[in-house]
Amino acid sequence: MQQLYKNIGKHGQKKLVACSISIVGIGALGSVASELLARAGIGKLTLIDRDFVELTNLQRQLLFNEEDIGKAKAICAQEKLSKINSEINIIAHSEDINYTNIDTLIQKPDLILGCTDNMESRFLINDYSLKFKIPWIYGAVIAERGYLFNIIPGRTCFRCIFKGAANETCETEGILNANSTIIGSMMSNEAIKIITGNNYENNLLYTDVWKNELSKIKVRKRNDCETCSKNYMFLDGENGRAVKLCGNHFQINGRKINLDTLENRFNKLGKTIRFKGILHFNELTLFENGRALIRAENERRAKSIYSRYVGN
C-alpha cells in the first residue's frame, strides 16, 4: 500500500528494496524501528545487540514476548522479522559493538540507526559514519522524553551537540512505552525519507509524550568539533573497555561519578552499602574516581550492567 503514497511510489519502493540499513541496539527503539522497516521492505537489515531479552524489557520492546526471555535480542529479532517479511535479507550479530569490530559488524550500509542506549556507542557510530560518509539517525528515550536527530556527513554531527556523558538510565528513571514507540516509529520514517530522497528533518527533535509536546531545536555545526576535524578518537581507542580481573569480576574505568546521586537512585531499587568513597549495589562496586568493579559472567554482561545502572 505504501507504493500508492505520492512521496514513495514504485520508484521509491525500488530504492527501499535495494538499500541496506544497520541497526545498532534492538531494544525499545530498535525493536520498533526494525519491525517497521522490515514491513516497509528494506532489502537488507543488519541487527546488532549484545543483550538478552529480560522480563522487564517486555513493557516497551514490542517485538518480544514472554517466550523470548533469555534469548539473544538480535537473533530473536531476526527470527521474528523473517516471519514478517521473508523476502528481505536479515543478518543478526549478538555482539558488543566496539572500535575493533564495528566495520565487520556494520559493513558500510546505506544508513545506520543508532538505537543503542549508551553514549560510547553513539560516539563510535558518529566517528564511523563521518569517516565513511554514511548518514545515521540518533534516537534516545528516557522517562517521558525522547530525542531524534538525522546526522548527515558534512553537516552538524552528534559530537557537535553532545560532549559529556548521560547519567540517567531506564533502570533508574523509568520509561513510558508510548515514548519509545513514538521515537522508534519516527526513526523508521526518517530512514525511509532519507533512502527515497525525500526531504527529511534537519533539526534536533525533542518530545515530551506526557505533555504531548514536540519541539524542533536548531543546531549548528561546531567549528572546534573533534569528529568533524577528522579526529576519530572513538575509532582509535579503547573507550569503555572492561578489563577481566580474578574470578568473575570486571573493571571499567569510567568518568568521575557522584555517589550521593547514585545512592539515592539505587535505594529505590534495592539495598545499597556505602563506605567512605565506595558504593555497593547488587553486582556493582563503584568508586568516586569513576572506577567500577562488576561481577558478571563475561565482558558483554559487565558493560551491560554498567550502562544500565550507572549510565554512559
pLDDT tens digits, residue range 140-161? 999 999 999 999 999 999 999 9
Ranges 7-16, 215-224, 273-282: which has the least confidence: 273-282
Residue 14: helix, strand or coil by DSSP?
helix
Q: What is the pLDDT of residues 34-66, one digit of tens each?
A: 999 999 999 999 999 988 898 989 999 999 999
- Give yes or no for residue 17 having a pLDDT over 70: yes
Q: Return the pLDDT at 206.
A: 96
Whole-number mean pLDDT of the chain?
Answer: 89
Q: What are phi and psi of 257, to 5 degrees?
A: -125, 160
pLDDT at 248 over 80: no
pTM exceeding the 0.85 threshold for the entire prediction: no
Q: Which three cell numbers stand for residue 203?
A: 533539526
In the predicted structure, residue 202 carries a pLDDT above the cut 80: yes
**Res 77: pLDDT:** 97
Question: pLDDT (tens digit, 9 = 90+) per residue, 163-194?
Answer: 765 666 776 788 899 999 999 999 999 999 99
Q: Return the pLDDT at 235.
A: 81
pLDDT above 60: residue 127: yes
| Listed residue (41, 48, 50, 49) closest to 20, CA to CA | 41
pLDDT > 70 fraction of the chain, expressed in percent and rounded: 94
What integer pLDDT is reported at residue 161 of this predicted model? Answer: 92
**What is the chain's Cα-based Rg?**
19
User: Residue 207 pairs with which residues in a beta bridge?
Assistant: 146, 214
Query: Of 141, 148, 211, which Cα lies nearest the Cα of 176?
Result: 141
Q: Smallest Cα–Cα separation from 169: which of 306, 271, 274, 289?
A: 306
Please give the pLDDT value at position 209: 95
| Residue 15 predicted with pLDDT over 80 | yes
For the chain, what are the domain ranges?
2-236, 243-309
Rounded mean pLDDT of 293-306? 84
Q: In what order do the strands lie in the sheet with 145-151?
A: 89-93, 44-48, 20-24, 111-114, 136-142, 145-151, 204-208, 213-217
Fold of 2-236: Rossmann fold (3.40.50)
Is 76 or 172 the better-scoring residue by pLDDT? 76
- The answer, yes or no, to whether residue 238 has pLDDT greater than 70, is no
Mapped onto helix, strand or coil, the DSSP state of residue 52 is: strand
